[in-house]
Structure 1
């Protein structure tokens, strides 16, 4: 045992306690264990509260802090080993530590934004499209700040970089015109909000119709009703008309119904009863336009029309209400001893031609 202790004392890595790679590694292990213990205790305490922000902050800190605990001492150990072997100073290790700290800070902020975005989407108390847009802008902002900090750490002049960026931005803008138009088209969608994720949209100008699945910076993904994905560049929405049926307040019933000509004396009664039925129907919105009127003399029917709006905007429920309304109209017509007309044609034959037609019809029988 004494020999083992003497061997440790004679070890080149343990002669200087403050410069020992083994001790630095052991210290990292102890610090990591303390962090895990502290994180577990804090997490158990935060889960008992109804306040979610502390949970989000802890989740954002978990992995980056663990990485920093291991990578920072590892950088010091690498520097000690290199200096011992090459007998020279490595100044770039200090910059490496600075870059590491910047990266960890940006990583924590990005993770925090992602956690907040996930929490808002889970609660469903905010508009999904707005939450995703703000989260993307925030992540992009922190990444840009991190890149600028990297350049500053390398000794680059930010004023000169911004000057070059102005000229370079003009060149890139001309070369990537379509990409930028899609980017600003996406910004227009986020700010004007003509539609959002989950809504049904269609365009009378293009063959675009379906449910919005995702709004990206470059393109929007729309799932058509036959379940095919449709990828539309955002710049397209700047030049077309977009209809959003998901934001309808009501759905319209507009139908024309024909009665037989022999039921003309019953038209007034039927129209009055149909209008009364619509006014008392629980699924018809009486605050909207409601019209039931005799409309036209058809080729084989007397036509009247109904024009009204349902309270529901759900596509399936709308058709159920419409079916109920039409069946009630059929019942009203039958209760008045009338009937719905079907296409008919009356053929008039001149009396002078009747004998000729009958004789022609009788000739084959005589043969």
Structure 2
């Protein structure tokens, strides 16, 4: 069909008798390229108009399909137009490069189709995790893992199809992959370990993007930013990026504080031994205060008891949980609770104890400033200058000798 059309146009232009073969080829190629650009522009405008029309509907998938197909459709039109232009050039020229037009068109078609499918997967991922578009948005980590898997399947299928188009045997490629996979597996065992570690993370979901995680086994703590197939990116609290190989998560314990239900207040507060008569009332008032506090979760354990006789204080244990799990808000609530406990202790005339030590001296010992004098405990008397009389006599005998 293309050959017949070219013959008609060529003969029509040749009838003028004014143009050489080169000029006729140039005019035909220009006309095809201009027609391609016009068709691509019209197709783009039509798809944009359809997007605006379907955006008013409640169906989100038609919007995703049109948005994903707009650019690949324009690329396909250009691909087809360039192919026709190359066929025109091949009609007027016997260059070897033009003999690959059909193969390049098939590979280009595979590329455009893969591009459209990848864009569609990306648009579907945005819809499924968006709280604005879905009543119950799916977990981002799960959707991201499925999206990566679909993209990998599409790309691998496209590569195999392109190899088949270029004349390579797929069965030979698969056989080579089976034999060479063993050697590659030994050479890249760490890479494969990280890959399967990422697969386990997506399967078990011990954490997801945005969670605060930490490991008691390693110096790992921060917010998860990205879960890849080889690395997991964690942003530490001092805003440094931490890249952890996924294989590490299969051998260490990981704590996910983001999934806690409450935060705990666990404090030991001591009062003076002199305030032991007020202990019972202080404990009861602290317990009542916590039960009436609007930020304390009464469905969790609440303990306020006289705990122990400490070295310098009577210890009271305060153990309760807040409703919030937010770090900043938790400390605001804890500050309020501690200040109210201090007010309760002061209202009973008691005081919060601090470490003290009492020194008992035996009778006869007198402490005056920095001078320590012993009167009853010293066996020898002293003269007026503070020296032992016996010692003074010995010195005199020594001098007489």
Q: Is the TM-score greater than 0.5? A: yes
From 172, 177, 185, give the equivalent of 1:173: 185
Cα root mean square deviation, aligned: 2.8
SS at match of 2:85: helix
How far apart are the structure 2 equivalents of 1:43 and 1:267?
A: 73
> 2:296–2:321: 8 Å Cα contact kept in structure 1?
yes
How many angstroms does 1:87 deviate by?
7.9
CA change 1:42–1:351 in 2 (3 A) is same
5 Å matches for 1:41-60?
41-60=49-68
> 2:270–2:353: 8 Å Cα contact kept in structure 1?
yes
Q: Deviations over 1:200-232 (max 9, x none)?
A: 111111111111111111101111111111111
How far apart are the structure 1 equivalents of 2:120 and 2:63?
A: 10
From 310, 315, 318, give the equivalent of 1:298: 310
How many angstroms does 1:160 deviate by?
2.6
How many angstroms does 1:279 deviate by?
1.5
CA change 1:9–1:108 in 2 (3 A) is farther
The equivalent of 1:263 in structure 2 is: 275
The equivalent of 1:96 in structure 2 is: 104
Q: Deviations over 1:76-98 (max 9, x none)?
A: 22233134222889553222211
> 2:366–2:374: 8 Å Cα contact kept in structure 1?
no
5 Å matches for 1:203-282?
203-282=215-294
How far apart are the structure 2 equivalents of 1:261 and 1:307?
A: 22
The equivalent of 2:167 in structure 1 is: 155
| More displaced stretch, 122-131 vs 319-328 | 122-131
The structure whose Rg is larger is 2
Number of residue equivalences: 359
User: Normalised by the size of structure 2, how large is the TM-score?
Assistant: 0.82
How far apart are the structure 1 equivalents of 2:40 and 2:363?
A: 113
How many angstroms does 1:244 deviate by?
0.6
User: Normalised by the size of structure 1, how large is the TM-score?
Assistant: 0.90
How far apart are the structure 1 equivalents of 2:22 and 2:143?
A: 53
5 Å matches for 1:121-132?
121-123=129-131, 125-132=137-144
CA change 1:355–1:142 in 2 (3 A) is closer
| More displaced stretch, 45-54 vs 270-279 | 45-54
> 2:90–2:99: 8 Å Cα contact kept in structure 1?
no
The equivalent of 2:6 in structure 1 is: none
5 Å matches for 1:181-220?
181-220=193-232
Q: Tell me, which stretches of 5 or more residues in structure 1 are unaligned?
A: none
> 1:83–1:89: 8 Å Cα contact kept in structure 2?
no
How many angstroms does 1:9 deviate by?
3.9
The equivalent of 1:78 in structure 2 is: 86
| More displaced stretch, 87-96 vs 246-255 | 87-96
How many angstroms does 1:274 deviate by?
1.1
Q: Deviations over 1:233-281 (max 9, x none)?
A: 1111111111111111111111111111111111111111111111221
The equivalent of 1:108 in structure 2 is: 116
The equivalent of 1:319 in structure 2 is: 331
How far apart are the structure 2 equivalents of 1:255 and 1:355?
A: 39
Q: Tell me, which stretches of 5 or more residues in structure 2 are unaligned?
A: 1-11, 376-381, 387-401
